[in-house]
Structure 1
Amino acid sequence: MSETFKIDETVTIGASIVKYRVESGPYLGPGGTAFYVVSDPARTVFRTAYADAMHRPTPVFEAGGTVKIDGGTHTLLAGPFDNGTGYTWWAIQDASGAQLSDGQHVMTDYQPPAPAPETFEYAGVAYEVGATYKDREGDRWTLEELPVDASQSYVWRLNGRTMAWESTALLVERYGPLVKVEA
């Protein structure tokens, strides 16, 4: 028994990566085989496709994201790779640090990689929003929000207290260098 597809659903046919849109169907073809009418995304080329050859496109994963395999969380290291038969696999790492490979078809609950932190550059140094830095006197400063420029104030907290008068330029000039520390 073949899958049922909905109108306007995106599909691929056979081992091809070309995406088609389901226009209508299913219809009963020769020998009782179900088929659909599909089109290219621009709806300029129409054709028929047997339901048994149609597939929902493989979700787009990205290296650095995580997936579940048999209940365990794994990090995607590299991929996707295709062995030439349409089998898509990834190099992955499990929670213990062991590196292996597995097919994308067994991966569930994909979570994209964490976004890169927001940073602000001043005098050739990148400061990360939310990060804590230690000044030359040992005080801890936290960059609260991304400043528009180095003269903007209201962005730093000293040992948990907002220092509204401090701009990045003034802070670095008076107390620098600022060294990033673990919070």
Structure 2
Amino acid sequence: MSVFEVGDDVISVAGDRYIIEGGPFSGYVPWYAARAEDGVVHLIGQSALRPVEISVGDRVTWDGREYTVEAGPFQSSADSAPWYVVGWSGGHNTLTGHQLRRASAYSAASSSVETAETFEFRGVEYEIGARYCDSDGDVFVFKSELSGPHTRDGNNDRTPLGSEFRYLTEDCDEQWIWSLGEVVRMYGPLTKV
């Protein structure tokens, strides 16, 4: 019987895909709060869920960066988590299976906005990649990757990730920690500059 963490991509015995949102919770059986592809959260017993297998060629994410699985799974010992060789434009890395999330975990609300160059939030359309000034005078830029349980600091409002423009460098993904929703709620309105 598997134990899951928040953000794990799982499949039910009925074949439905979910993302773990909370748990395990105690009850007659251990159970989890799991978000379905349509966004509805269900309470599901642990024994009815299993991890989605990761295969060579799969697109996965970890810590806000997208990778392609190039080799694996490998097992160091019988009780260790499997690990994979993953690649991205900057090179290669080795990550364990529990660190990885499928890049396409949600079909309707995927972790990136692939065809859109804009994103609508609270009735306002924002251009991906454009610079926006907040009420404090800070300038932000937003990318197409959406915030979610897999992102740093737990921003989980499914709006584009952003960074203060003055801290952004080409080789540093560490600064993509704000979500559009968070910036609008705390420092809005935003003005395109």
TM value normalised by structure 1: 0.32
TM value normalised by structure 2: 0.30
Q: Which has the higher contact order (CA 8 A, sep 6+)?
A: 2
Q: Which has the larger radius of gyration?
A: 1
